[in-house]
Amino acid sequence: MSTDAAASPAESAAGAGTGAGTGKVVLATLAAAQFLMALDSSVMNVSIATVASDVGTTVSGIQGAITAYTLVMAAFMIPGGKIGAMIGRKRAFMIGCVVYGCGSLTTAIAPSLPVLLFGWSLLEGLGAALILPAVVALVALNFPTERRPAAYGLIAASAAVAIGLGPLIGGFATTYFSWRWVFAGEVAVVLGILALARHVIDRPSGGRPHFDLLGAFLSAGGLGIFVYGVLRTSEWGWFVPKPGGPSWLGISASVWVMLAGVLVVWLFLQWQTHLLHRGRDPLVDPGLFANRQLSGGLTMFFLQFLVQMGVFFVVPLYLSVALGLSAIKTGVHILPLSLSLLAAAVLIPKLYPQASPRLVVRLGVLGLFAGALALTAAINADSSAAVVTIPLLLIGLGMGALASQLGAVTVSALPDSRSAEVGGVQNTVTNLGSSIGTALAGSILIGTLTSSFLTTIEKNPAVPASVSAQASTKLAAGAPFLSDAQLSAALTEAGVPPQQAEAAMQANASARLVAVRAALAILALVALVALFFTGRIPKRQPEGHVAGSGGKSEKSQKPEQTAP
């Protein structure tokens, strides 16, 4: 697991990093790959009904495909990182791109849901599990220590920008062409990435480490089960089971599923420890979590993505449903976040290369907190779409500040030879944060909406007690987040009297605002809690050193820069 004492010529080239011109090509290549992986998590959210109609399935079927993509990607991230360490990071990256491209092509021509699931959920998910850990490792191998914060910042920013632009790209393609063109375009981008990947340099993997099949099964099973439990909370409930939802001992089945996932992950870690004691090669060394810097960076990654994906869930819903904006206009109003994020991620390392990582991370967390709190305060019944601009700029600056530091913090905690292992764990943590952030924001949003709506209806004298009781029974399983137009059409179809329909419309509008504010307030609270974990982030930028697994420093070689 340790670096060799004497570096081969190839290793020396890798450790040196690339020249300025080639470095830009390498960075663009890796950033494009990261962009594609993130794009699929949001690009079809505004086109679900259209996709469902085209492949002859239901909306829930397409939502299941998106969920399955997240599950596959999260479950196989750690084995994907190990494969990269065994066969070479560049080779794993290129194989992952081929698998991902095949998945995109299959999805673009999919005539039915099973084919869509095979292409989008399985092939693209497996491709992403190979690509993402390799991206983390290849940045470490292609850029010297002082250039890594800027490189990791741009990589992280490209993912966040993809999530922000996803609704805009998906809405534009679906409106003017076809959703299938999005996936066809991904194939073209993958071909471009493969053509440029020749500029990426890699370090030959030493020896032929053993691939732990049982460990891969346990890690994939445990993480997959846990994420599945999180994703089912919207239908089953977090703790109290929703009407009609499965339960055991009066507790929602989602809790038991998540606990089962945690148990399997614990068995996985015990198995990894057993392999280490027998002198065999594990998928992940459990001892790496004892590294203060690495554990601190991973914790911040988890909390950042929890808040980030929660914001990306709540704000588009507010713009598209509460304000009635189209998918394209919704995407345009989210652009300030993407632009400020990109600017902060790129400019902070460039203008302040020796800035304290801990200080930058703390300022980033404060930016997230201030932006979420400003959104909570600014949104009211008379708000226009412009009200989100300044808060989203603050949130984007906060995300960009975190992106500019955290990648370099985690990778510099261990020798470069273990960067693929770090990449697998890091992307697993970010996937967990993303899943929990989306599920938590959604649960708070729908739960608060239901409670506020029913409270308002019950207090309105224009609504008979019998109607209030009926509404309470029907909405106990969770109220849908409806626009005024959708609710008006449903009330008209149901033949509700005008006076009662008007009361329902007012109650829905009021409950939507309360729900959005509640979700944003919880996300602001999570950002505030993240401040307590910033003490593990180092005060100084790494300068030609990487921390060893035991917490000591290891001098890394810094030969002259060479282009591949």
The C-alpha atoms of residue 140 and residue 437 are separated, in whole angstroms, by 28
Question: How many C-beta neighbours within 10 Å does residue 25 have?
Answer: 16
Residue 547: beta bridge partners? Answer: 553
The stretch 231-237 carries a mean pLDDT of 76
For 377, residues 6+ apart whose C-beta sits below 8 A from its C-beta are: none
Alpha helix ranges (H) inside 352-387: 357-378
Let me know the angle formed at the C-alpha of 398 by 138 and 158, rounded to the nearest 5 degrees: 35
The tokens for 491 are 């009330």
Tell which wins on pLDDT, 368 or 445.
368
Question: How many C-beta neighbours within 10 Å does residue 212 have?
Answer: 21
The C-alpha atoms of residue 480 and residue 166 are separated, in whole angstroms, by 23
Write the DSSP string, 90-145.
Answer: HHHHHHHHHHHHHHHHHHHT--SHHHHIIIIIIIHHHHHHHHHHHHHHHHHHHS-G
Secondary structure element (H or E) that encloses residue 252, with its range: strand 251-252
Predicted local distance difference test score (pLDDT) of residue 5: 37
Tell me which residue of 466, 328, 344 sits closest to 394, measured CA to CA: 344
The tokens for 127 are 């491709």
Predicted local distance difference test score (pLDDT) of residue 2: 38
35 near 97, Cβ under 8 Å? no
Write the DSSP string, 337-358.
Answer: HHHHHHHHHHHHHHH-TT--HH
Tell which wins on pLDDT, 464 or 289.
289
The C-alpha atoms of residue 500 and residue 361 are separated, in whole angstroms, by 51
Predicted local distance difference test score (pLDDT) of residue 553: 39
Name the average pLDDT for the chain: 78
Predicted local distance difference test score (pLDDT) of residue 264: 92
Predicted local distance difference test score (pLDDT) of residue 554: 41
Predicted local distance difference test score (pLDDT) of residue 254: 86
Q: How confident is the model at residue 20 (pLDDT cuts 50, 70, 90)?
A: low
Tell me which residue of 508, 301, 455, 315 sits closest to 393, measured CA to CA: 315
Q: How confident is the model at residue 468 (pLDDT cuts 50, 70, 90)?
A: low
Q: What values do phi and psi take at 13, rounded to 5?
A: -65, -40
- Amino acid (1-letter code) at residue 416: D
The C-alpha atoms of residue 558 and residue 543 are separated, in whole angstroms, by 10
Tell which wins on pLDDT, 397 or 447.
397
Q: What is the pLDDT of residues 365-381, one digit of tens each?
A: 999 999 999 999 888 87
Checking if the pLDDT of 228 tops 70, the result is yes
Secondary structure element (H or E) that encloses residue 179, with its range: none
Predicted local distance difference test score (pLDDT) of residue 497: 65
The C-alpha atoms of residue 68 and residue 122 are separated, in whole angstroms, by 8
The C-alpha atoms of residue 157 and residue 147 are separated, in whole angstroms, by 16
The stretch 255-259 carries a mean pLDDT of 90
Let me know the angle formed at the C-alpha of 265 by 262 and 270, rounded to the nearest 5 degrees: 125
Tell which wins on pLDDT, 451 or 468.
451
The stretch 502-528 carries a mean pLDDT of 82
Per-residue burial over 511-546, b = 16 or more CB atoms within 10 Å of its CB, e = otherwise? bbbbbbbbbbbbbbebbeebeebbebbbeebbeeeb
Tell me which residue of 207, 202, 86 sits closest to 141, measured CA to CA: 202
Q: What values do phi and psi take at 57, rounded to 5?
A: -135, -170
DSSP 6: S
Let me know the angle formed at the C-alpha of 39 by 444 and 229, rounded to the nearest 5 degrees: 40
Alpha helix ranges (H) inside 379-418: 389-411
Q: How confident is the model at residue 46 (pLDDT cuts 50, 70, 90)?
A: low
Secondary structure element (H or E) that encloses residue 248, with its range: strand 247-248
Q: What is the pLDDT of residues 329-352, one digit of tens each?
A: 877 888 888 888 888 888 888 888
The C-alpha atoms of residue 422 and residue 134 are separated, in whole angstroms, by 10
- Mapped onto helix, strand or coil, the DSSP state of residue 555 is strand
The C-alpha atoms of residue 23 and residue 295 are separated, in whole angstroms, by 29
